[in-house]
Amino acid sequence: MTERHRPDRGSHLEELEEVAAWHPIDGTPTKKKVAVGCSIGATIETYDFIGFGTAAALYFNDAFFPSSDPLSGTLFSFATLGIGFAVRPLGGIIGGYLGDRIGRKPVLVGSLLLMGIATVLIGLLPTYQQVGVWAPILLVAVRVVQGLAFGAEWGGAILMCFEHAPWRKRGLYTGITQAGFPVGLLLANLAFLASVPLGGSWAWRVPFLLSAVLIVVGILIRLKLEESPEFEEIKEEGEISKNPLLEVLRNDWRNVLRAFCLRIAETAGYAVSITFMLSYLATEGLADRATSLTALMVAAGVGIFATVFWGALTDRIGRRPVYLFGTAVTLLWGFPLFLTVNTGVAAAIVLAFVVSYAICQNSLAGVQGAWFAELFATKTRTTGASLAYQLSAVVSGFTPLVATALYAGFGWIGPALLFSGYGLLGLVASLTTPETWGRTERAEVAALQRTFTAPAAPAGPPAPRTASDERQLADSASD
């Protein structure tokens, strides 16, 4: 639905009918184009941002830091990775503010362009052996730009898709956009796997340089997308928030906190089970780089379809039940995860990555697009959802660093407990967050759809056109 559901209001079919007059229940005519365009953009930005995580785990400890102490190099490398996550909330605040003030589309284009420039620059950076301490300084600088761009990306892409989508399929459509992230993950790791034979610094430079082609394609696609109909409506009615950040913190801080905790279970869990795991497998000699990247690519390939499936499932049974399932599995998977990879068997490692990603992570990511959007009102939706989503990135960004420290002190049991702890946090948050697409909401929208699609009575003169009818006809003509 277009506004936050308030359980104490009872049925609000009349309000929904007013909204349906200018935002069709079946979505806008360009809903599929928007979903694909947002997904492609998310794919490209994920390729850029997550590719850095793969490079940090496999290459950057030697390329940008002194090679005398491998463990210290890994810690510094993960710290640089975390810096990008740390600035994502600022990117989310800026992108959310602009998205609620000037529109969703400009943020989509700007964030993609900024990300592309920073990513290509990574591929051109000198190494520690070439310029000494300037190498990590430059790496941190471009990583900060990446973090700002990625922080602004999610809210604009997800909410643009959400606000164009059919009311009863918003989980599916936002799931399609969310699926852009496993596609980007797959492409990034495919690029790194293919570049392994190049050897030397080209093994990590080429994947970043290839981003230039993807960025051009993504920007051309996003420039052709139409602005969100819900933003256009509040703009026409003069209801744009003067300060969406202040308004959401004053009126919706509880939902920001809830979404923050929900998100941590997904993103920080990924940081343990995927990002840290790549380093763990290499450190323990359990798998070579080719095996690790292959396992991750298989998981990402399955995750493309899993993310869409989980999102679509929420349209049928609600947002909360799917999230409860995903967090419960995360809670229980911590110790079995490490016991599985510790066998050193390639097939077992692939299985561990698939469970960690396609079930634990995707079951949560597939829900977030619709659930987070429905927690906030239209005029502050981008700010509220982006703020909660990106604040959690600070935790997840430094999770590989924390997991490495726990591993150094307690062995694999430390990271296993950390992973399960994130699952427990998400489980508690799921139980305390309102269901926004429960039986009541689904029944109301279904009844409204039947009203709009009911056959007209054969007798009597045609009803005069209302202002809403004229508006729908004008919109159809313009399309």
pLDDT the model gives residue 277? 94
Query: Cα–Cα distance between 278 and 340 in angstroms, integer?
Result: 14
Domain residues for 304? 24-228+241-452
pLDDT score for 171? 96
Residue 9 counted as domain residue: no
pLDDT of 405 reads 93
Task: Examine residue 341 and state whether it is found in any structural domain, yes or no.
Answer: yes
Number of domains in the chain: 1
The residues, ordered by sequence, that sit 6+ positions from 299 with a Cβ below 8 Å of its Cβ are 274, 350, 353, 354, 356, 357, 358
Residue 1 within any structural domain of the chain: no
**pLDDT per residue of the chain (479 residues) written in tens, 0 to 9:** 444 444 344 445 555 555 655 567 888 888 898 898 888 878 887 887 777 877 877 777 778 877 666 666 677 777 777 787 788 889 888 988 888 888 888 888 888 888 888 888 989 999 888 888 888 888 888 888 988 888 888 888 888 899 899 989 999 999 999 999 899 888 887 888 888 888 888 888 998 898 888 788 888 888 888 888 888 888 888 888 889 999 999 999 999 999 999 999 999 999 999 989 988 998 899 998 788 888 988 999 999 999 999 999 999 999 999 999 999 999 999 999 999 999 999 999 999 999 999 999 999 999 999 999 999 988 888 899 989 988 888 888 789 889 999 999 999 999 999 999 999 999 999 999 999 999 988 888 888 877 766 554 454 444 444 444 444 444 444 44
461 is a domain residue = no
Question: What pLDDT is recorded for position 13?
Answer: 55
380, part of any domain: yes
Domain contains 462 = no
pTM of whole model > 0.75? yes
Give the per-residue pLDDT at 340.
97
Residue closest to 398 by CA, chosen among 54, 59, 78, 76: 78
pLDDT score, position 266: 95
Residue 334 covered by a domain: yes
* Phi-psi label, residue 10: left if phi above 0, alpha if psi -120 to 50, beta otherwise: left
CATH of the domain at 192: 1.20.1250.20
- Cα Dmax for the chain: 89
Residue 248, Cβ density class (10 Å: 0-12 exposed, 13-18 middle, ≥19 buried):
buried
Q: Does 470 map to a domain?
A: no
